[in-house]
C-alpha cells in the first residue's frame, strides 16, 4: 500500500448518515470518486454508476458519491433528502457522503488533492460541473480524471485494467 501521506487514504469525509468515514477503510480497493447532484442533466448517470458498482464490487471497486451544490444549485436538498432521492430513483447502494464544496477556498481537502493530482483539460484544476469522475488505484493514487459527459459505461475498460493488476 502507498504511503498514506501521498494517497486518498489520508482523508476522511462525513457520510449521509452523519458518521465520519476514513478513506483508509477502502485501501486495497479501486475507487471511483464522483461529485454528484440530484437536479442535473447528468443525474441519470447514477444508474450507470450503480451498475458499475454492482458489476465490479466483488472484485474490489468502490464508487464514492459526493453531492455538491456548487453548480447551478442542483443539489439543494438535505442529507436525508439526497439519500431518499438516490434510493428511490436509482437504488444506490454505494457509499454516499454529505454535501461538500469541490471548488474554491471551502473545497473539501479530498477534492483539493484530487484536482492537484489530476488536473483537467489544459491543466485546469477546477471541477467544471457535476459528475466529474476520478479513478483511484488500489494504493490510493489518482490515475485518471473523466469529464462529466463521460458515461459510466465508458469507464468499464479502465476499471477492469486496474482491477486485474495485482
Catalytic residues: 40
Q: What is the pTM of this model?
A: 0.94
Tell me the average pLDDT of the chain.
Answer: 92
* 28-to-1, 52, 59, 135, 162 alpha-carbon distances in Å: 7, 18, 11, 13, 11
Taking a C-beta distance cutoff of 8 angstroms, is the pair 103, 135 a contact?
Answer: no
Number of domains the chain is built from: 1
Q: Containing domain of residue 43, as a range?
A: 4-164
Beta strands in 7-92 (DSSP E): 12-14, 20-22, 30-36, 61-67
46-55, 72-81, 94-103, 113-122: segment of lowest average pLDDT: 113-122
Cell readout for 20 is 465520519
The domain that holds 52 is classified in CATH as 3.40.30.10
For 16-40, the pLDDT digits (tens) are 999 999 999 999 999 999 999 998 9
pLDDT band at 166 (very low <50, low <70, confident <90, very high): low
Pick the closest to residue 67 from 142, 31, 13 (CA basis).
13
Amino acid at each position: 500500500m502507498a504511503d498514506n501521506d501521498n494517497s486518498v487514504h489520508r482523508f476522511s469525509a462525513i457520510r449521509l448518515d452523519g458518521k465520519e468515514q476514513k478513506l483508509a477503510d477502502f485501501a486495497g480497493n479501486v475507487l471511483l470518486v464522483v461529485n454528484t447532484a440530484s437536479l442535473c442533466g447528468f443525474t441519470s448517470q447514477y444508474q450507470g454508476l450503480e451498475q458499475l458498482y454492482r458489476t465490479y464490487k466483488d472484485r474490489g471497486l468502490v464508487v464514492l458519491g459526493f453531492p455538491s451544490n456548487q453548480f447551478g444549485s442542483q443539489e439543494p436538498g438535505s442529507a436525508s433528502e439526497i439519500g431518499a432521492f438516490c434510493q428511490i430513483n436509482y437504488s444506490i447502494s454505494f457509499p454516499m457522503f454529505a454535501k461538500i464544496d469541490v471548488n474554491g477556498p471551502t473545497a473539501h481537502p479530498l477534492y483539493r488533492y484530487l484536482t492537484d493530482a489530476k488536473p483537467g483539460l489544459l491543466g485546469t484544476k477546477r471541477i467544471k460541473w457535476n459528475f466529474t469522475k476520478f479513478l483511484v488505484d488500489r494504493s490510493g493514487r489518482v490515475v485518471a480524471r473523466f469529464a462529466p459527459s463521460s458515461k459510466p459505461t465508458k469507464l468499464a475498460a479502465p476499471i477492469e485494467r486496474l482491477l486485474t493488476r495485482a
